[in-house]
Amino acid sequence: MTMLMHPMEEDSSVSSAYQTTPGTWNETTTEEVWNASSSVRRIYRVETNPPFLVDVNGLVSPLLVLVTVTTNGFVCLVLLKQHMRTPTNALLVAIAVTDALTGLWPLPGYVFFYSLGNCFDWVPIDWCGLYPSLTEYLPTMTHTASIWLTVLLAVQRYVCVCHTQTGRRWFSRPRIMADVAVVVAAAALTHVTRFFEETYVAVTVTSRLNPNVTVTSCVRHLVPFVERNVNAYFGAYYWFRVVFVNLVPCGSLLVLNVLLIMTLRTAQQRKARLVARQRSNSSSGGGGGGGQRSTEGQSTTLMLVLVVGLFLLVEFPLAVLFIVDILQNTFPSSVSVMSDDDITVTSHVVNLAILLSYPVNFFIYCSMSRQFRDTFARMFRRKEKKNAAAAASPDTQFLTLATTDAPTYEPHHTPSAVAMTTKC
């Protein structure tokens, strides 16, 4: 998940350490860390404050991640079916994958430290570089990709609704796949420097849990370039992140969602007039297919409006909190809105809300798309039929196995089904 603060601490949040003047990171030698009690604070341990954090990261988050992986896996299985492969659904699959990865990356670290109770001791040397990568850097990459893919989804839907022919040219399936690749690559490049800004020096210290046991932990040092430009480096990174990963996407999505809602209202008024004309000409049996297809597109658009709305509901508070945190760190003497403890607690609550929102998309698809529901249910019905046929007799079993590799033909879906299979 996207953390405001580094998930490791030195008896205090690491973000406060970034506010120190350049050069302070390397002033204490390894021997001083071993011998000076005041320097023990420089040795890594994971966060255990606020008190609920251990239960959240050790129990609640792993359960939510498992639910997210399951539901998003179902989304991918359904939308990757041959008859469901559209540009819009390709974007939904990409968002489902990046959301699942955002939850999966921190899982090994959370299980090892919080679920197994290792969070109360010093961080082992093998985890010093791995833990921040899994719980902060990689989740931030995939979450950034998910954010901009959601923006791309909103742009694609708006263009397809308001300028259908242009949308079909701009957002064909090959172009959408290329766009997804560009977004993912850009998201990775945006945060890739985080993997190289620190080095770790091994130190042997007494365990915090058992004074008769020693632990090989680590001390963090910024690399020379970052150390010489610590304020400029982190200031530039976090301001870039708050503008281009939080403010611009949320603002764009808010505008696009309002425009889509206005477009839906106009379409509903147009549909009401069309239905009135069709009723007056019902005796002629004139084509209602156009109205049916319009209903499909409107339903898909409304569904995506809800998806984007849910995204804004959980992401906008994170953007505001991030701005407050950055302003307070940049102008500590003139800006004081929230205490560090309040920001820490709020950031963990918002991160949990974001993780909780990931599985909700699956239920939005199920409730608003008949095509999605039918395809999802058919997956399990076919499996039940195969199992029943296999259990009927040995001959039937061989017949079933022989025919499972044969091409299956999906039934033609009538326009009356609320679908996710629009051309654009």
pLDDT in tens, 155-211: 999 998 888 888 888 999 999 999 999 999 999 999 999 999 999 999 999 999 999
Report the distance separating Cα 148 and Cα 186, nearest Å: 10
Does residue 183 contact residue 148 with C-beta atoms inside 8 Å?
yes
Q: Cα angle vertex 353, ends 88, 1, to 5°?
A: 75
pLDDT digits 0-9 by tens, 246-291: 999 999 999 999 998 888 888 778 877 787 787 777 655 555 455 5
Share of the chain above pLDDT 70, in %: 76
Tell me the backbone φ, ψ of residue 45, rounded to 5 degrees.
-150, 155
- Single pTM value for the model: 0.80
DSSP string, 99-137: HHHHHHTTHHHHIIIIISSGGGSPPPGGGTTHHHIIIII
DSSP string, 23-67: TGGGSS-HHHHHH-GGGGGGB-EE---STTHHHIIIIIHHHHHHH
pLDDT confidence of residue 297 = 61
- Of the listed ranges 72-81, 223-232, 272-281, 367-376, the one predicted with least confidence: 272-281
> Virtual CA dihedral for 397, 401, 404, 405, nearest 10 degrees?
-170
Report the distance separating Cα 87 and Cα 90, nearest Å: 5
DSSP string, 229-240: THHHHHHHHHHH
pLDDT confidence of residue 294 = 54
Mean pLDDT of 322-341: 87
Q: Cα angle vertex 256, ends 251, 257, to 5°?
A: 100
